[in-house]
Amino acid sequence: MGIRVAVAGASGYAGGELLRLVAGHPELDLVAATAHTQAGTPVAAVHPQLAGLELTLGVTEAATLGDADLVFLALPHGQSAALAAQLPGGVKVVDLGADFRLRDAAAWERYYGGAHAGTWTYGLPELPGQRAAIAASGRVANTGCYAAAITLALAPLIAAGVADPADVVVVAASGTSGAGRSAKAHLLGSEVMGDLSPYKVGAHQHVPEIKQATGADSLSMTPVLAPMPRGILATVTARPIGRTPPRDVLAAAYADEPFVHVLPEGAWPHTAATLGSNSCHLQATLDADSGRIVVLSALDNLGKGAAAQAVQCANLMLGLPETAGLSVFGVAP
Amino acid sequence: MGIRVAVAGASGYAGGELLRLVAGHPELDLVAATAHTQAGTPVAAVHPQLAGLELTLGVTEAATLGDADLVFLALPHGQSAALAAQLPGGVKVVDLGADFRLRDAAAWERYYGGAHAGTWTYGLPELPGQRAAIAASGRVANTGCYAAAITLALAPLIAAGVADPADVVVVAASGTSGAGRSAKAHLLGSEVMGDLSPYKVGAHQHVPEIKQATGADSLSMTPVLAPMPRGILATVTARPIGRTPPRDVLAAAYADEPFVHVLPEGAWPHTAATLGSNSCHLQATLDADSGRIVVLSALDNLGKGAAAQAVQCANLMLGLPETAGLSVFGVAP
Amino acid sequence: MGIRVAVAGASGYAGGELLRLVAGHPELDLVAATAHTQAGTPVAAVHPQLAGLELTLGVTEAATLGDADLVFLALPHGQSAALAAQLPGGVKVVDLGADFRLRDAAAWERYYGGAHAGTWTYGLPELPGQRAAIAASGRVANTGCYAAAITLALAPLIAAGVADPADVVVVAASGTSGAGRSAKAHLLGSEVMGDLSPYKVGAHQHVPEIKQATGADSLSMTPVLAPMPRGILATVTARPIGRTPPRDVLAAAYADEPFVHVLPEGAWPHTAATLGSNSCHLQATLDADSGRIVVLSALDNLGKGAAAQAVQCANLMLGLPETAGLSVFGVAP
Amino acid sequence: MGIRVAVAGASGYAGGELLRLVAGHPELDLVAATAHTQAGTPVAAVHPQLAGLELTLGVTEAATLGDADLVFLALPHGQSAALAAQLPGGVKVVDLGADFRLRDAAAWERYYGGAHAGTWTYGLPELPGQRAAIAASGRVANTGCYAAAITLALAPLIAAGVADPADVVVVAASGTSGAGRSAKAHLLGSEVMGDLSPYKVGAHQHVPEIKQATGADSLSMTPVLAPMPRGILATVTARPIGRTPPRDVLAAAYADEPFVHVLPEGAWPHTAATLGSNSCHLQATLDADSGRIVVLSALDNLGKGAAAQAVQCANLMLGLPETAGLSVFGVAP
């Protein structure tokens, strides 16, 4: 008998990836998966890639979920707080939504609207001190997908005093699963294939989270939708302070990390190499003309950017080996 | 200490998938990986998705490989025989090439050219009697990717006397990894994206293998290159004999199989649901206008069509649980 | 002053392609474009590729359209009859829907439901006698996209007595624009990229149209959704009668056609080569193992399969050069 | 009889697009197309999308080309100078390579190597004064594809004193046709589909051209390969000077331009809308957090980024209407 785990919001893309990871995890038992409009439907009818998984989606409510040792919440932003409040205090929770990520209530209200629900332990184990904090927490707020890619690229450089926090410029492209599974005309395959499409230019809601996690003071972030189901590639640039090569700082910061790989010099991260894994690939250099630091960061938005990262946090919270049930390696080509 | 495994031809796509599966297998130790022109290169430089795997490609020769308990050969067609002959007799071998699949030497010579190397146990465990034969064999010839998809769809129907072997018509589309990793202009991304392209129309070299494995007497097979890295979708049609619903025959044949899923009625296989897995999804019906049996079969050409299937065979040969190190579930979306 | 043309149903994919072609046509003036829910919206907001076209979508009703010399109807199946009945008799009409394609009212009712609206001149100029019939007609029913690809491949072979009409087997894959622009979850980019997905297996509504147009007596047709925005590749197989090479029959049938190209021997049609054009590419051979005739046919489902074909018909109806405003050449890569 | 035009380097992607545009141009006659290794091959065998174009590739030499009124050179960088020197002085030339774009010989030698061939009129008609200069020139150096996208986005802002030239940061993603048609393993469809891959990070050879054309003093440019055949999306950011809205400056600069469209507020450029056209779509805003100007620019790298732009220049040089034979509208979806 393994540890009992439930997934709320299991009909979406992050939910489906959570089901895949939990079902294949050597120490976890998937005891419940819930959804809103698709409650009552077999999981494999909603996620055909899970054919063979005999489980029916339940209703997303505390009664269905509270019997688990740990619950993953993969709900739309703003819906986690009410459900989390109803779960027994002894049930551990990892929230994949944005509700509990920010420390600054005003920033929450400005970008998401509504009242700020509170602040949970931030679920990025590779930040200094955060691994222990997650292990000691009953409630963890998983990072956003863009935030994971950008924070892993930038936080060590600002912390080391090597990158200037004053004028960070980021362009980050995401596969379409980052936009969710709701049927919207602009996300149809006919529209997105062969297309690069920027969105929320000038004011993306993840900016306060990224500033909080990286220490950046000013951040221009332009998100782009790319014609692929999964993957984030973030190009992060900042002005250098001093002459320390940025790659050296990153290599030192992640030398012992199982899931963050600073690539050999000359090799650049690309998204396909991370598909299905919990890995983030990094590389950094100085731009010849402008002198700027340029860091490239690639990960799977549903992996290290969402579901796999959440399982990594859960492993820590449950006292399991941090890498249990997770793959370092991507599925490619 | 696990069982010692080596992969020859590790620089190609099937080779890379073998490395991923072996590296993640709970009972196998990856002791050597070899290649031709890329010998001496770190594995992760050739397969960026394997960043973190500390191994350098060796030279493809018996001295490098013979120390293993089991060797996977992922070499170009026609190159397995010479190498296999040099391996010690106690080393088990799974050959992913075509060299040892055919019983009919004349068919080999006609479609592949050169002398026929011999016939090994055919590596499709789901065929009647084949599971035991594989378990008892030291040398196994893995199925071809198209052959796996088509045989699983058709063999039980012909064996049951429900499908007429006389006039089978197949159209099967494959992702581009099926065409290999050699740099060819017609396989450039610019050419294949947005494109469906038939090839080898009228005379595909896999026809004799498929006829041998399915029992078909006459087979028209048209292969098509599809704009995706992985996946095969085979549409297999045959004239019915009698009135037994073809889905019933398939459902009975695969009721206890972990990797072959006859989908619920109304659900049709599609390739993305099998990505990265060892699963094959099947569905069958009778065409309203023509009365023909129509079976749809989907799998990952590098998974159940090559590397994962090879690991399934290796598990049997080594006395391990058949499903060890393999995923039933696909990585989607 | 050119000939006045209007497009009803201009917000969909076929409608957008009609607008592009009419706006670039040397003899036609685009005087009105209408839509249902998007009436009142600038065309370029609905079709960003038409930035620079100063026109606002009107309401789809006879008052808006009846002032034109010719109206294209690109409406959902079943909606053309009511509107067409309200247009003045002198207004020429090309209907891109299925409403008026079938001669057999029973077949209409079986596959589409509702009452059969009638039968108009079938809009495939390359069929024998059809060019003159279209030129003499005021109302023309444009072919369906699958029907265009399959009929051009098969009709001359059956007419010449070279292909047996008794057991035709077709597998045809289409780009996603063939499924329309409505927001449906299974058509999201995340779902369709990397995926081949069969649909309506065993009973596609285009079968009666294709049988009518080709002369086939029995037709098994399996449609597949392919991960690309445009293009149809049809694999059409039939048993041969006699020994006439099928390519010779096709080459003779289309020797003088500007838009149908029987490729040189050894070259096979592929969809990307037809993108944006009104061309159909064909090739045929005899299968080595089964002896079956195999014809491959490629076209752009929005081009020769819909909008460009409709403009070709309109050119004939209006006494213009048949090729005016149409491209023989595809946009590739 | 039209104006006689020849294309050198016709076997590549830009060459193929030139052939398509010239063959469909109402005033130009395509009299010769030449290539290197594929001389002697029918054009349609090299470019299947041009089936129906009866022309055979000749050898790239002055004797084959010099009989034309205007020659397009679509050769690898560094090969244009020798050929151009051999063409009769009265033959007009548009060079799509980089050889004659730079005024600074040192910059040429640093980024391209070898001796600098000279400087021709820069072929971007929308730059102030450049339209007349092109019309008066016999030799024109077409812009690079990235340079076209970035210059149209940025040059008016720097010229107007609205954007600071001191710290421009650009991330620009291109479809794979920008990488050419040579068979390279990293450009295989299996590698590029589903993948975003940065390249030449920190030192791209187009930087000096872009600085020359835009007036930027410092430019960090990170290029990314995107999983689509065509299209460039450039995200261009700079610090603002004063409070003039950047969109106003762009709207004024391009108010009368047929091919450059500043989109309505709230609409953002995306690449698919420009496919096959000579259009560039632009939008600009101020970033809420950083205050930076953010301009998005989309075009077809083979259209406004190469072949169509070259035809626009040729139209000016030949005294034809600037828009002749070119499409404002993209082929979408």
- In the predicted structure, residue D305 carries a pLDDT above the cut 70: yes
ipTM greater than cut 0.95: yes
Our CA-based measurement puts residue A121 at a distance from the nearest CA of chain C, in whole angstroms, of 31
d(CA D271, CA A52): 40
Bridge partners (DSSP) of residue A71 are: A6, A93
Q: What does the pLDDT read at residue A110? A: 86
Mean pLDDT calculated for residue range B24-43 = 97
Whether residue A333 and residue B272 make contact (CB cut-off 8 A), yes or no, is no
Per the document, the length of chain C is 333
DSSP letter for each residue of B224-259: EE-SSSS-EEEEEEE-B-SS--HHHHHHHHTTT-SS
Confidence of residue D66 (pLDDT cuts 50, 70, 90): confident
Q: Given this model, what pLDDT does residue B1 score?
A: 65
All residues of chain C having their beta carbon less than 8 Å from the beta carbon of residue B197 are: 233, 268, 270-272
D126 to chain A, minimum CA–CA distance in Å? 24
Interface of D with A in 62-81 (CB under 8 A): none
Where is C283: in which H helix or E strand?
strand C280-286
Region of C215 on the Ramachandran plot (φ > 0 left; ψ -120 to 50 alpha; else beta)? left
Q: What percentage of chain D reaches a pLDDT higher than 90?
A: 94
Is the Cβ pair D226, A196 closer than 8 Å? yes
Cβ–Cβ contact B37 with D under 8 A: no
Q: How far is B274 from chain C (nearest CA, A)?
A: 10
Q: Report helix, strand or coil for A205.
A: coil
Q: Is residue A74 predicted with pLDDT exceeding 90?
A: yes
A331 and B49 in contact by Cβ < 8 A?
Answer: yes
Name chain C contacts of D325, Cβ cutoff 8 Å.
none
What is the structure's pLDDT at A115? 87
Q: Cβ contacts (< 8 Å) between C194 and chain D: which residues? A: 193-194
**β-bridge mates for residue C261, sequence order:** C281
Q: Which residues of chain B lie closer than 8 angstroms to A279, CB-CB?
A: 51-52
Neighbours of chain A (3+ CB pairs under 8 A): B, C, D
Q: Looking at residues D176-197, what average pLDDT do you find?
A: 97
Q: From the list A258, A275, A327, which residue is nearest B24 (CB)?
A: A327
By C-alpha distance, the chain D residue nearest A228 is D194
Asked if D270's CB is within 8 angstroms of C49's CB, the reply is: no
Interface A-C, measured as beta-carbon pairs within 8 A, has a size of 68
Check CB contact under 8 Å for D229 and B176.
no
Instruction: Return mean pLDDT, chain B.
Output: 96
For residue C1, what pLDDT is reported? 66
Which residue in C6, C145, C296, C311 is the catalytic one? C145
D250 near D159, Cβ under 8 Å?
A: no
Contact C183 A183 (CB under 8 A): yes
Cβ of A227 within 8 Å of Cβ of C193? The answer is yes
B168-174/B232-238 β-pairing: antiparallel
Residue-wise pLDDT tens digits, B236-287:
999 999 999 999 999 999 999 999 999 999 999 999 999 999 999 999 999 9
Tokens at residue D71, please? Answer: 């020659």
State pLDDT tens for residues D138-181: 999 999 999 999 999 999 999 999 999 999 999 999 999 999 99
CA distance to C248, C262, C266, C293, per residue, from C285 (Å) = 10, 12, 10, 6
pLDDT at D108: 86
Q: For residue D115, what pLDDT is reported?
A: 87
Q: Which of B49, B53, B328 to mutate to test the interface with A (most CBs of A within 10 A)?
A: B49
Check residue A39 and give left, alpha or beta (phi > 0: left; psi -120 to 50: alpha).
Answer: beta
Helix (H, G, I), strand (E, B) or coil at D124: coil
> How would residue B107 be classed by pLDDT, with cut points 50, 70 and 90?
confident
- Whole-prediction pTM value? 0.98
- What domains can be seen in chain C, in order of their start residue? 3-142+304-318 (3.40.50.720), 146-299 (3.30.360.10)
Which residues of chain C fall short of a pLDDT of 50? none
Give the model confidence (pLDDT) of D92-134 as tens digits.
999 999 999 999 999 888 888 888 999 999 999 999 999 999 9
Q: Which of residues 122-141 of C touch D (CB under 8 A)?
A: none
Q: What is the DSSP track for A34-88?
A: EESTTTTSBHHHH-GGGTT---B-EESSHHHHTTSSEEEE-PPTT-HHHHHHHS-
Question: In this predicted structure, what is the pLDDT of residue B204?
Answer: 82
- Residue B277 at interface with chain A, using a CB cutoff of 8 Å: yes
Residue labelled with tokens 């200094």: A128
Residue with tokens 């960061």: A297
Contacts of C43 in chain D (CB under 8 A): none
- Which residues of chain A are within 8 Å of residue D219 when distances are taken between CB atoms? 289-290
Q: Which tokens is D176 given?
A: 């794979």
C155 vs A110, more confident: C155
Chains that touch B (3 or more CB pairs under 8 A): A, C, D
A20 vs B contacts (CB less than 8 Å): 329, 331
Chain D neighbors (3+ CB pairs < 8 Å): A, B, C
Q: Tokens 């640093």 — which residue?
A: D110
pLDDT tens digits, A34-62: 999 999 999 999 999 999 999 999 999 99
Q: Kindly report whether the peptide bond that precedes residue B333 is cis, defined as omega within 30 degrees of 0.
A: yes
**Res. B41: pLDDT tops 70:** yes
Given the DSSP bridges, would you call strands B70-73 and B92-95 parallel, antiparallel or unpaired? Answer: parallel
- B16 contacts A272? CB cut-off 8 A: no
| Average pLDDT of the segment spanning B129-152 | 98
Look at residue D204 and tell me whether its pLDDT is greater than 90.
Answer: no
Residue tagged active-site, from D83, D145, D219, D280: D145
Convert the pLDDT of each residue in B6-19 to its tens digit: 999 999 999 999 99
Residue A18 to residue A74: CA distance in whole angstroms = 9
**pLDDT at position C115:** 87
Mean of the per-residue pLDDT values for chain A? 96
Radius of gyration of chain A (CA): 19
CB D171 within 8 A of CB D235: yes
CA neighbours within 13 Å on the CB side: how many for A277? 28
Q: Which residues of C touch A184 (CB under 8 A)?
A: 183, 188
- Record the tokens describing residue C144, joined without a space: 């369906």
Closest CA to A139 of A172, A186, A100: A100
Set of chain A residues whose Cβ sits within 8 Å of the Cβ of D268: 197-199, 201
Q: What is the largest CA-CA distance in chain C?
A: 60
Please give the sequence-ordered ranges of beta strands (E in DSSP) within chain D, or none if there are none: 3-8, 28-35, 58-59, 70-73, 92-95, 121-123, 139-142, 168-174, 197-198, 219-225, 232-238, 260-262, 280-286, 293-299
> Which of these, A329, A275, A325, A311, lies nearest to A125 by C-alpha position?
A311
Q: Check B145, B150, B221, B306 and give the catalytic one.
A: B145
| Nearest-angstrom CA–CA distance, D90 and D69 | 8
Q: Residue B145 catalytic?
A: yes
Chain B contact for C288 (CB, 8 A cutoff): yes
List, as ranges, residues 183-242 from A with C-beta within 8 Å of D: 190-191, 193-199, 201-203, 207, 211, 218-222, 224, 226-231, 233, 235, 237, 239
- Closest chain C CA to residue B281: C197
Range in A212-226, B79-93, B100-114 with the lowest mean pLDDT: B100-114
Give the minimum alpha-carbon distance from B259 to chain A in angstroms, rounded to a whole number: 9
Burial status of residue B182 (CB atoms within 10 A of its CB: 0-12, 13-18, 19 or more): exposed
CA atoms within 13 A on the CB side of D212: 23
Q: Output the pLDDT for position D40.
A: 97
Chain B, 159-188: which have a CB under 8 Å from a chain A CB?
A: 177
Q: Give the nearest chain A residue to C174 (CA atoms).
A: A190
Q: Is the pLDDT of residue A1 over 80?
A: no
| D32-50 average pLDDT score | 97
Look over chain D and give the mean of its residue pLDDT values, rounded to a whole number.
96
How far apart CA D15 and CA D33 sit, in angstroms, is: 9
The number of CA neighbours under 13 Å toward the Cβ of A205 is 14
**CB neighbours of D232 closer than 8 A, spacing ≥ 6?**
D145, D146, D149, D172, D173, D174, D175, D178, D271, D297, D298, D299, D300, D301, D305
